[in-house]
Chain A
Amino acid sequence: MTYQVLARKWRPQGFDDVTGQAHVTTPLRNAIRGDRVPHAILLTGPRGVGKTTLARILARCLNCDKGPTDAPCGECPPCLEISGGTSTDVQEIDAASRTSVDDVRELIAAIRYAAAPGKYRIFVVDEVHMLSTAAFNALLKTLEEPPPRSLFVFATTNPEKIPFTVVSRCQRYDLRRIAASEIVDRLTTISKAEKVKISPASLLAIAREADGSMRDAQTLLDQVISYGGAKIDDGTVTEVLDLIDRRQLLAILEAVVDRDAAAALAACAAAGASGADAKRLGEHLVGLLRDLVVLRIAPEHDELVEASAEDVAELRALAERSDAARLRRMFRALVKEQEDLAWAPQPFAVLEMAVVRIATLPDADEVGRLIQRLEQLEQHLARGGGPGGPAAAGGGPPSNGSGDRPSRPRSAQSAAPEAPSVPTAAPSAAKHTPKPAAPPAPDGAAPQAEVAPNRAGPRAEVAPNGAGHRAKVAPVGASPPPAIAPNGAPTAAVFDRLRAFTREANRGIHAALEDGRILSHADDALRIGVPATFAAGRLREKGDALADLASRFFDEPTRVEIVDESAPAASTQPSDGETDLRRRRQAALNDPGVSRALEVLDGEIVEILPFGGAR
């Protein structure tokens, strides 16, 4: 006897057998009972949810010897012929392989003949969206004025590809993904009938992997039975189907939403131990985080999440445990890490760190408090406040990411240290002891042509603490002013952006620019210094590409000159002031407080200025 796959063997034979589509079966049953069957029906929905099956059931209902009835007998010749695909009254056409207008003309010619021996002449057109435009046009007239006792049933996964003139002449039914619980019920029935022992957990895993498609679920069950025989354990299911258990994914997500990095790592490890690939795991996590964001922002738009109702409810409950802003930041952070997974030598480690990172992201309130503290710092500094103010709480000067800075008093008078006024709203500020003023850096030592004039003003500086690399905000009397690019932004920030800009376009240039800096940028000439001969050589080799990128970056034609700063040329050696500036910049980047501020604000370090002293 020829083996028949489960999906065919267990294909529903009546409306009662159809799972999870009551919103379609109910009106169709009522239409048959009330003799109000439309002349054209469009069944749409994802694959494997029952479109073609419903078309065949409908055909049996209409042509059954006992019909038209909503419960066909399944035993009469018409029912058997329709089930076997041999009925002359029911014609099934695969529009994916018969797309031409001639195929449709054949069909139109056939529709003129009355049904015999059945009652209705039924045309089931599968994948109807594949028909050509001419074929649709040929069909249109027949759809507008169909012969009596004829029925067109169109099935498609892409209704948007069908001309409106055709869609508007059909009664449209949208079939949905089937809930996992309903798939499990059906699979349980099938496995019992097939005398296969399989746990409910395995059936649920199969149902979830099927993503709402009953046919996919039955095919997966078939695969598992083929491998494991009549007795299937959970490990076999995971192994055979290479599943990433949704429970494990949700465990990771629950942990990160609850800020439990340890639990998140444990859940990651569990997923890894079960053989999940890091990249796939990351993709699934990105997808689920996206669902959480969408459900948090648009809770009433279930249709935006492609999942069964129970899964949506589960995700919604999880989404409600965090705020939308934090979820968005988590999503953004994970996407960023996901991009690196492809090149990572140890992808699982990258994924673990990504999970830890998103688990430790602060929520919106915390960000709000941070911003408030930064604003207080600004106000404090604007009043000429010294150390011990809100800035000492660990924040740095605010960066808006666009180079804009709030205006601050810059007069020499205002630079005079004043008694710090500690705002009561920043209690943690008291924990930090202000560092004594750093030694003043040499004035005017920076070699850049576009050095700004010395400006005294209250500024914050993030300086390293020698012991623990914990930055302190310390007042300095005078430090080298950062160079100012022609557009008004500091060259260090401009260089960072330029380097970031090259990242997408040319990773070679991006890498070679590491530790480089802008020496000058005047008119259309840009001089870039790099501290290694090798990097300078690479950049010179790629001179044209770099010039092109720089032109695009500055939005004007730009010539680029590369200076090898490792060469013993006195003129290109960074001054003490520059060295100090670079040291402070590096310290700022290493500082956890600054890192946290950059992360939560999605900001960048634009400028590091001396605190409480001359600029």
Chain B
Amino acid sequence: MKVEELVAEIDGGEVRSAYLLVGEEPLLRDDALDALRRAVLGEGASDFDFDRLEGSGTKPGVLLDAVETLPVLSPRRLVIVSEPEARRGARGLTEGIPEAVERAGAGGTCVLAIASSKADKRARWVKAFGNAVVDCAAPTRTREIAAFIRREAERQGGVQLGRGVAELLADRIGPQLLLLRNEIAKLALFAGEGKSVTREHVAAGTASLAEAPIWDLTDAIGEGRAADALGVLARLLSAGAPGPVVLGSLTSHFRRLLRIAHGAAVAGPPFVRKKLETQARRYGPRRLRSSLDALHQTDLALKGAGALRPELALERLVIALAG
């Protein structure tokens, strides 16, 4: 289930005895745990009825004890366990999870919530949760991120978003939900109370922070999108990517294109090979060979030869390759 489904279920009065939260997105995970905490412990002081255990240092026996301890002030206790797979082996925590889930269900006095970055659905301890598995993975598609932005704007007291604002914001920040939450709050302040956030507000007030993976750069270059390639390069460098690493990735990419252009095999899934073939066709063998010279010249420039600063040398390369 999604986090919003969990919250709706809890708001509807149903709290199960055990949940598995899977995913690394901190905001989704925090939201799910906050909802559980409010439902189980209420808003008041609750330290007596709350245990937070770390998977790396917890043995199965400790978990079972925590689950079987009776509540003091609240009707139920809440036990949260983080990263149960941090310690593997015979005495790993996952060994005791199925029994803990069973006991929490039988006793009716404890809610067990386990938060894990990833979980293998075939594992015994994961199967023990049945369908009480909450997806806390970050959305990856712009449509999903934009949907989150609209929900979040609504949650923050009904912040009004103008046409295209959610998509623009998703493009600028990417799937970093905590940042998005803060940006929505900031943009609401920028627009002023009761006013709608417009694209102009986003353009003026929100920096482009979306992380740019290196393959965004190679794709933009390979597809001849020079403007996009320059933007991605700037983001990579401002995020601290070392110039030689960027150059290495580009060299590797063009080597693969050259291999494909000469009929050699290139490892990778079919869709990647297809993409590379399309790009290799776009360049042609002659231009691919001359691109190696451009890469070589940039390598020399990065190592101190010539008059160009490293970032300028990389820009020159990107323009030459994508042009």
By a beta-carbon cutoff of 8 Å, the part of chain A in contact with chain B is 23-24, 26-28, 30-31, 34, 36, 38, 44, 160-161, 164-165, 167-174, 282-283, 286-287, 290, 293-294, 297-301, 303-304, 324-325, 328, 331-332, 335, 338-339, 341-342, 400-402, 404, 504
Select which of B176, B190, B286, B315 is within 8 A of A400 by beta carbon: B286
22 A-B residue pairs with Cβ-Cβ distance under 8 Å, sorted by A, are A26-B189, A30-B190, A30-B192, A31-B189, A168-B178, A171-B182, A172-B179, A172-B186, A172-B209, A286-B307, A294-B315, A297-B226, A298-B230, A301-B227, A303-B234, A304-B230, A325-B323, A328-B320, A339-B306, A339-B307, A341-B307, A402-B286
Question: Which residues of B lie under 8 Å from residue A165 when comparing CB positions?
Answer: 26
Select which of A293, A324, A401 is within 8 A of B290 by beta carbon: A401
Question: Which residues of A lie under 8 Å from residue B239 when comparing CB positions?
Answer: 160
Whether the Cβ atoms of B240 and A161 lie closer than 8 Å is yes
Whether the Cβ atoms of A290 and B240 lie closer than 8 Å is no
User: Whole-angstrom distance between the alpha carbons of A448 and B234 in the complex?
Assistant: 52
Secondary structure of the B contact surface, majority rule: helix
Question: Which residues of B lie under 8 Å from residue A38 when comparing CB positions?
Answer: 182, 185
Cβ of B289 within 8 Å of any chain A Cβ, yes or no, is yes
> Given that A303-B208, A504-B300 are known contacts, is A332 also in contact with B190, CB under 8 Å in the complex?
no
Nearest residue, chain B, Cβ from A501: B296
Nearest residue, chain B, Cβ from A32: B189
Q: A172-B182, A504-B300 are in contact. List 5 more A-B contacts (CB 8 A).
A: A30-B193, A282-B307, A290-B315, A298-B227, A402-B286
Question: Which residues of A lie under 8 Å from residue B179 when comparing CB positions?
Answer: 167-168, 172
**Contact bitstring B284-320, A, C-beta under 8 A = 1, else 0:** 0010011000000000100001111000100110011
> Given that A404-B286, A504-B305 are known contacts, is A27 also in contact with B189, CB under 8 Å in the complex?
yes
Cβ of B207 within 8 Å of any chain A Cβ, yes or no, is yes
Question: Which residues of A lie under 8 Å from residue B158 when comparing CB positions?
Answer: none
Whether the Cβ atoms of A335 and B207 lie closer than 8 Å is no
Question: Which residues of A lie under 8 Å from residue B305 when comparing CB positions?
Answer: 504
Cβ of B57 within 8 Å of any chain A Cβ, yes or no, is no
By a beta-carbon cutoff of 8 Å, the part of chain B in contact with chain A is 26, 176, 178-179, 182-183, 185-187, 189-190, 192-193, 204-205, 207-209, 226-228, 230-231, 234, 238-240, 286, 289-290, 300, 305-308, 312, 315-316, 319-320, 323
Question: Which residues of B lie under 8 Å from residue A169 when comparing CB positions?
Answer: 178
Question: Which residues of B lie under 8 Å from residue A338 when comparing CB positions?
Answer: 307
Select which of B205, B238, B306, B323 is within 8 A of A27 by beta carbon: B205
Nearest residue, chain B, Cβ from A342: B307
CB distance from B81 to the nearest CB of A (A): 19
User: Whole-angstrom distance between the alpha carbons of A281 and B246 in the complex?
Assistant: 30
CB distance from B268 to the nearest CB of A (A): 26
User: Whole-angstrom distance between the alpha carbons of A287 and B316 in the complex?
Assistant: 12
User: Whole-angstrom distance between the alpha carbons of A331 and B308 in the complex?
Assistant: 11
User: Whole-angstrom distance between the alpha carbons of A27 and B183 in the complex?
Assistant: 11
Whether the Cβ atoms of B189 and A30 lie closer than 8 Å is yes
Nearest residue, chain A, Cβ from B234: A304
User: Whole-angstrom distance between the alpha carbons of A335 and B307 in the complex?
Assistant: 7
CB distance from B47 to the nearest CB of A (A): 13
CB distance from B188 to the nearest CB of A (A): 8
Whether the Cβ atoms of A328 and B319 lie closer than 8 Å is yes
Question: Which residues of B lie under 8 Å from residue A299 when comparing CB positions?
Answer: 227
Question: Which residues of B lie under 8 Å from residue A298 when comparing CB positions?
Answer: 226-228, 230-231
> Given that A286-B308, A298-B231, A339-B307 are known contacts, is A23 also in contact with B190, CB under 8 Å in the complex?
yes
User: Whole-angstrom distance between the alpha carbons of A401 and B294 in the complex?
Assistant: 12
Nearest residue, chain A, Cβ from B308: A335
CB distance from A392 to the nearest CB of B (A): 27
Whether the Cβ atoms of A304 and B240 lie closer than 8 Å is no
Question: Which residues of B lie under 8 Å from residue A287 when comparing CB positions?
Answer: 312
Select which of B176, B316, B319 is within 8 A of A168 by beta carbon: B176
CB distance from A307 to the nearest CB of B (A): 14
Select which of A27, A161, A301 is within 8 A of B230 by beta carbon: A301
Whether the Cβ atoms of B204 and A23 lie closer than 8 Å is yes
CB distance from B293 to the nearest CB of A (A): 8
User: Whole-angstrom distance between the alpha carbons of A400 and B183 in the complex?
Assistant: 52
Question: Which residues of B lie under 8 Å from residue A328 when comparing CB positions?
Answer: 319-320, 323
User: Whole-angstrom distance between the alpha carbons of A259 and B294 in the complex?
Assistant: 27
Question: Which residues of A lie under 8 Å from residue B234 when comparing CB positions?
Answer: 301, 303-304
Question: Which residues of B lie under 8 Å from residue A404 when comparing CB positions?
Answer: 286
> Given that A160-B239, A167-B179, A304-B231 are known contacts, is A324 also in contact with B315, CB under 8 Å in the complex?
no
User: Whole-angstrom distance between the alpha carbons of A332 and B312 in the complex?
Assistant: 11
User: Whole-angstrom distance between the alpha carbons of A168 and B323 in the complex?
Assistant: 37
Whether the Cβ atoms of A301 and B231 lie closer than 8 Å is yes
Nearest residue, chain A, Cβ from B233: A304
Question: Which residues of B lie under 8 Å from residue A332 when comparing CB positions?
Answer: 316
Question: Which residues of B lie under 8 Å from residue A34 when comparing CB positions?
Answer: 189, 193
CB distance from A110 to the nearest CB of B (A): 25
CB distance from B226 to the nearest CB of A (A): 5
Question: Which residues of B lie under 8 Å from residue A174 when comparing CB positions?
Answer: 207
Question: Which residues of B lie under 8 Å from residue A400 when comparing CB positions?
Answer: 286
User: Whole-angstrom distance between the alpha carbons of A44 and B300 in the complex?
Assistant: 33
Whether the Cβ atoms of A297 and B227 lie closer than 8 Å is yes
Whether the Cβ atoms of B290 and A23 lie closer than 8 Å is no
Question: Which residues of A lie under 8 Å from residue B240 when comparing CB positions?
Answer: 160-161
Whether the Cβ atoms of B207 and A172 lie closer than 8 Å is yes
User: Whole-angstrom distance between the alpha carbons of A2 and B197 in the complex?
Assistant: 48
CB distance from B299 to the nearest CB of A (A): 10
Whether the Cβ atoms of A293 and B319 lie closer than 8 Å is yes
Whether the Cβ atoms of B289 and A402 lie closer than 8 Å is yes
> Given that A34-B193, A304-B231 are known contacts, is A27 also in contact with B186, CB under 8 Å in the complex?
yes
Question: Which residues of A lie under 8 Å from residue B306 when comparing CB positions?
Answer: 335, 339
User: Whole-angstrom distance between the alpha carbons of A335 and B315 in the complex?
Assistant: 13
Whether the Cβ atoms of B189 and A168 lie closer than 8 Å is no
CB distance from B120 to the nearest CB of A (A): 26
User: Whole-angstrom distance between the alpha carbons of A95 and B149 in the complex?
Assistant: 34
User: Whole-angstrom distance between the alpha carbons of A185 and B231 in the complex?
Assistant: 32
User: Whole-angstrom distance between the alpha carbons of A36 and B189 in the complex?
Assistant: 9
Question: Which residues of B lie under 8 Å from residue A504 when comparing CB positions?
Answer: 300, 305
User: Whole-angstrom distance between the alpha carbons of A290 and B320 in the complex?
Assistant: 13
Question: Which residues of A lie under 8 Å from residue B316 when comparing CB positions?
Answer: 290, 331-332, 335
Question: Which residues of A lie under 8 Å from residue B286 when comparing CB positions?
Answer: 400, 402, 404
Question: Which residues of A lie under 8 Å from residue B231 when comparing CB positions?
Answer: 298, 301, 303-304
CB distance from A354 to the nearest CB of B (A): 11
User: Whole-angstrom distance between the alpha carbons of A293 and B312 in the complex?
Assistant: 11
Question: Which residues of A lie under 8 Å from residue B289 when comparing CB positions?
Answer: 402
User: Whole-angstrom distance between the alpha carbons of A338 and B189 in the complex?
Assistant: 49
Nearest residue, chain B, Cβ from A173: B186
CB distance from A402 to the nearest CB of B (A): 5
CB distance from B198 to the nearest CB of A (A): 13
Whether the Cβ atoms of A160 and B238 lie closer than 8 Å is yes
User: Whole-angstrom distance between the alpha carbons of A168 and B182 in the complex?
Assistant: 8
